[in-house]
Amino acid sequence: MAKSKTVFFCKECGYESAKWLGQCPGCKEWDTFTEEPVIKKSSKPAGVRQFREPELISNIKTEAEIRLTSGMEELDRVLGGGIVQGSLVLVGGDPGIGKSTLLLQMCREIVLRNKKVLYISGEESLSQIKMRAERLGVINGELLLLCETDLDLIDDVISKCRPDIVVIDSIQTMFREDVTAAPGSVSQVREATGALMRIAKGSGITIFIIGHVTKEGVVAGPRVLEHMVDTVLYFEGDNYAAYRVLRAVKNRFGSTNEIGVFEMQNSGLVEVKNPSEFMLKGRPEGEPGSIVAASMEGSRPILVEVQALVCRTNFNMPRRTAAGTDYNRVNLLMAVLEKREGIQMSDCDAYVNVAGGMRITEPALDLAIVTALLSSSKNIALDNKTVLFGEVGLTGEIRAVNMAEQRVAEAAKMGFEICILPQANKDHIKKAGIKLIGVKNIQEVLGILMNRR
């Protein structure tokens, strides 16, 4: 009996090789190759190819995208203003984070606008989906449910029903009979996504795909999956925290910097209209090491609490921990404090935390981290009505950041009275509503802190 031919695929980027390789030449990742059967191509007679001449860009007419509101402002914000007709959207996230709940709530809002939605599940039965839908609220409208994993049958159902929106839960359970690999493999995921893309573009139906993530936090399957779709959304959040963050990492129809904030409750996901107020709940007052920073997520300013704890260590190697921000950035800022200000940090344990579980890596958080470290080290509390932002350089200078006016306006709206910011930003702000203190280096920040003694 003849042995079936197999090839090796990289699980990260989809690179194909005739033999197993330790390191992928495409993405340079190690131990990512998996062996799978070769996909049999249908033997169709070659047709006559039609030559198409390229066109001048000035002669091409553009049309505005047709968008449909999802009924959820936070989701519309991340999508760039609404759901684009005929788009293919991938939603990824950890198991149990709320991906299915989010899309089912979206389906409930869409059918209220006299649109037809088809929800296809390969993991849950119809009764299980119905019970979850009843927990989220009453659904009145054309919401069709289907439990199926064969993409050929799904294609027939979509052609017959002609829905406006289709939800696939999840892409790892779908398969095609002409692909001999198992469901969830690199070949099946790639072929299934390609088939769904042809359905979306050919019929103008918007398709949402739910994808599982690996332990590294990326969507399971080849990285080419993210290249094929129009939009990639990640649903993030700590299982122990009530809030969830919907973040766009790819969007052909909008910005990739916007986020949507939700709170998980018994009745489902509730939109958080004011994330700053939500993040600052329970903030201690008059405690050293607690600082409020003005951060930006896309075009939305968010105030977060930065906490630091600095204490002497009894070991030769001090311990450093960073939660919610870049660990290496914290070490760099501590080195700047020790070199430029002569503050002994090499014999201290240091713990930095962005309260609430939010992860922020933008440089504007530097000034808040430095001030929190100084506040904890000197045991001096900053005023509760003070907010900070700014980037710290290796020479100790405070550099300007973008969207300073939006940050100051958000701080004023939340009731803060003082804002410490880079001097270069202060010079360009005409109207603030709160007291602005411009600083040029961390020595001036230390002087402000010492005056609090």
* Average pLDDT score over residue span 141-153: 91
Tell whether 95 is in a known binding site.
yes
* Average pLDDT score over residue span 251-255: 88
Q: Where are the domains of the chain?
A: 6-37, 67-272, 278-450
* Average pLDDT score over residue span 247-252: 90
- What pLDDT, on a 0 to 100 scale, did the predictor assign at position 4? 58
Tell whether 93 is in a known binding site.
yes
Q: Say whether 377 sits in a helix, a strand or coil.
A: helix
Question: Which numeric CATH code is attached to 278-450?
Answer: 3.30.230.10
Q: How far apart are CA 441 and CA 420, in angstroms?
A: 12
- What pLDDT, on a 0 to 100 scale, did the predictor assign at position 370? 95
Tell whether 100 is in a known binding site.
yes
Tell whether 94 is in a known binding site.
yes
The closest alpha carbon to 233, from 253, 263, 216, 256, belongs to 256
Given the structure tokens 């993405």, which residue do they identify?
27
- What pLDDT, on a 0 to 100 scale, did the predictor assign at position 157? 94
pLDDT for 2 beyond 50: no
Q: How far apart are CA 192 and CA 183, in angstroms?
A: 10
- What pLDDT, on a 0 to 100 scale, did the predictor assign at position 1? 42
pLDDT band for position 133 (cuts 50, 70, 90): confident
> How many residues does this entry show for the chain?
453
Summarize pLDDT for 25-39 with one digit per residue, the tens.
877 888 888 887 765
pLDDT for 242 beyond 90: no
pLDDT for 331 beyond 70: yes
Q: In the CATH scheme, what architecture does the domain 67-272 have?
A: 3-Layer(aba) Sandwich (3.40)
Residues 6+ apart with CB under 8 A from 119: 103, 104, 107, 129, 143, 144, 145, 146, 167, 169
Q: How far apart are CA 453 and CA 438, in angstroms?
A: 20
Q: How far apart are CA 10 and CA 64, in angstroms?
A: 38
Summarize pLDDT for 363-409 with one digit per residue, the tens.
999 999 999 999 999 999 888 899 999 999 999 999 999 999 999 99
- What pLDDT, on a 0 to 100 scale, did the predictor assign at position 219? 56
* Average pLDDT score over residue span 337-344: 89
In this prediction, what percent of the chain has a pLDDT beyond 90? 45
Higher local confidence (pLDDT), 253 or 181? 253
Tell whether 96 is in a known binding site.
yes
Summarize pLDDT for 177-221 with one digit per residue, the tens.
887 777 877 778 888 899 999 999 999 999 999 987 655 555 555
Structure tokens at 333: 């800022």
* Average pLDDT score over residue span 74-95: 91
* Average pLDDT score over residue span 93-117: 90
